[in-house]
């Protein structure tokens, strides 16, 4: 299972774009990269998933370079409600379990 490394914490202000980078040097060929958001006392919420290049949905973008050894979650124009812990995980098709790292605690200030 690929191990992931993220910054422990990040601060931002409302309206700014936030980019959280995750390193996963030993990602396997069939691994996907998935990001989750977790608020206190809640289960993680799926944000976005990708395999390579760029993926965009209504809440975020995911940038994955060609070597796939890292990925960057981009949150456009964050608001106070985006204050949460963000987890990057890697796992492949039929790779059953996910191992959570420390996550990145994002604090958004007014």
Give the one residue of 29, 41, 66, 67 binding other proteins; rule: CB under 8 A.
Answer: 41
Q: Total residues contacting other proteins (rule CB under 8 A)?
A: 25
Task: For Cα atoms 40, 99, 30, give the angle at the middle one, nearest 5 degrees.
Answer: 130
Pairing assessment for the beta strands 61-64 and 70-75 based on DSSP bridges:
antiparallel
For 64, the 3-state DSSP assignment is strand
Is 8 a binding residue for other proteins by CB under 8 A? The answer is: no
Task: Compute the distance between CA of residue 42 and CA of residue 60 in angstroms, rounded to an integer.
Answer: 20
Which of the stretches 14-22, 36-44, 53-61, 75-83 binds other proteins when contact is defined by CB under 8 A? Answer: 36-44
Binding mask 42-71 for other proteins (x = CB under 8 A): xxxxx--x-x--------------------
């Amino acid at each position: 299972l690929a191990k992931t490394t993220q910054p422990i914490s990040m601060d931002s202000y409302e309206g700014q774009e936030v980019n959280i980078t995750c390193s996963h040097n030993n990602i396997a060929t069939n691994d996907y990269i998935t990001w989750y958001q977790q608020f206190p006392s809640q289960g993680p919420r799926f944000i976005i998933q990708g395999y390579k290049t760029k993926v965009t949905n209504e809440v975020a973008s995911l940038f994955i370079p060609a070597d796939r050894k890292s990925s960057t979650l981009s949150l456009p124009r964050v608001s106070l409600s985006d204050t949460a812990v963000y987890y990057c995980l890697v796992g492949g098709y039929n790779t059953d379990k996910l191992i959570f790292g420390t996550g990145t605690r994002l604090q958004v200030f007014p």
